[in-house]
């Protein structure tokens, strides 16, 4: 590799501290956004499974009856009941079995290993049994304990993975999230009627944290029209000043969010509870508070570095 193509050495001193702080903030954001997306997907799936197997009405059975009518089967309520009680479970069992078969075959094909039929059948049966067990678990165990099991189990698995890769920060952060999430899970009401409201709450967290992550890669809105009118020698200082203004704004928004959550008349003091999830209302605005805290830390580190090591802005004044 030529000297011109060699990667730049990592920054040291204050700039290196700012970079490490920025990377740490990004790791927190990535973990929280990933967890929120997983929880959203899992809870909505659990809601669909629960409603599908608890309800006496089966949309799939109605569709099967419509298809069967094309081949001469009469669309009567008796035939619908037969398809609901026997046809739909048989079809779902077949799909689960085929999924296990396909997973085994695809994995063996990718690794260029033999694909014996016996093992493929065993994998299909295993996925079928696992699917049946998960359905029974969702139907007969209270939703709070189902969610608690999935959350804590997933957090433990990732914690072990992080520890094996010597990611102490990731393991500790995962443990903290598991403890907070487990506490929230135990406050959930019965059934899964709360899943849609929880998805909206998590969507708010993903939106605010996603906005904070955009600042890490400078994908946020940037006003650089005035910076082009500044003489070249002054641009490093206007960049630093712009970062200072951005930091001040983020701190101001942090204080406003803190007042909204923990102020005398805030959501925490009011004790308001969301009707569907049973969660305290302050967890929604808490997303904005956490996001602006992370952005304040990020822009503060960049501001200090910009004043200590002034340089020409690459894309303009990011504020």
Using pLDDT thresholds of 50, 70 and 90, give the confidence band for residue 66.
confident
Q: Answer whether residue 48 shows pLDDT above 70.
A: yes
Percentage, residues of the chain above pLDDT 90: 12
Using pLDDT thresholds of 50, 70 and 90, give the confidence band for residue 318.
very low
pTM of the model: 0.68
Q: Answer whether residue 230 shows pLDDT above 70.
A: no
Which residue is listed with tokens 């929230």?
Answer: 184
Q: Answer whether residue 198 shows pLDDT above 50.
A: yes
Mean pLDDT of the chain: 81
Q: How far apart are the first and last CA of the chain?
A: 37
Q: Where are the domains of the chain?
A: 19-44+193-319
Selected residue with higher pLDDT from 277 and 288: 288
Q: What is the mean pLDDT of residues 108-130?
A: 87
Q: What is the mean pLDDT of residues 13-30?
A: 73
Using pLDDT thresholds of 50, 70 and 90, give the confidence band for residue 254.
very high
Which residue is listed with tokens 């403890």?
Answer: 179
Q: Tokens for 150? A: 């999935």
Q: Tokens for 268? A: 């925490």
Using pLDDT thresholds of 50, 70 and 90, give the confidence band for residue 233.
low
Count Cβ atoms within 10 A of the Cβ of residue 151 and give its class: 0-12 exposed, 13-18 middle, 19 or more buried. Answer: buried
| Separation CA 290–CA 2 (nearest Å) | 44
| Separation CA 238–CA 307 (nearest Å) | 10
Q: Answer whether residue 317 shows pLDDT above 50.
A: no
Which residue is listed with tokens 């957090």?
Answer: 155
């Amino acid at each position: 590799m030529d000297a011109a193509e060699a990667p730049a050495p990592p920054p040291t001193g204050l700039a290196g501290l700012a970079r490490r702080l920025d990377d740490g903030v990004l790791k927190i954001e990535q973990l929280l956004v990933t967890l929120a997306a997983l929880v959203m997907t899992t809870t909505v799936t659990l809601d669909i499974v629960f409603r599908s197997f608890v309800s006496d009405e089966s949309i799939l059975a109605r569709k099967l009856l419509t298809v069967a009518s094309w081949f001469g089967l009469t669309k009567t309520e008796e035939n619908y009941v037969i398809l609901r009680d026997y046809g739909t479970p048989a079809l779902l069992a077949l799909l689960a079995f085929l999924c296990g078969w396909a997973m085994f075959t695809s994995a063996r094909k990718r690794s260029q290993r033999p694909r014996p039929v016996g093992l493929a059948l065993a994998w299909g049966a295993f996925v079928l049994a696992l699917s049946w067990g998960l359905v029974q678990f969702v139907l007969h165990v209270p939703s709070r304990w189902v969610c608690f099991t999935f959350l804590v189990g997933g957090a433990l698995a990732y914690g072990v993975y992080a520890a094996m890769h010597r990611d102490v920060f990731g393991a500790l952060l995962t443990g903290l999230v598991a403890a907070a999430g487990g506490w929230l899970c135990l406050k959930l009401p019965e059934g899964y009627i709360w899943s849609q409201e929880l998805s909206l709450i998590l969507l708010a967290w993903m939106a605010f944290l996603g906005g904070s992550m955009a600042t890490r890669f400078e994908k946020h809105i940037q006003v650089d029209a005035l910076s082009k009118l500044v003489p070249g020698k002054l641009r490093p200082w206007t960049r630093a000043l712009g970062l200072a203004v951005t930091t001040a704004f983020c701190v101001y928004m942090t204080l406003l969010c803190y007042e909204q959550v923990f102020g005398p008349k805030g959501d925490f003091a009011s004790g308001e509870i969301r009707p569907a999830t049973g969660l305290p209302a302050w967890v929604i605005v808490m997303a904005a508070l956490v996001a602006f805290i992370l952005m304040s830390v990020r822009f503060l580190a960049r501001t200090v570095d910009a004043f200590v090591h002034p340089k020409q802005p690459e894309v303009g004044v990011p504020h």
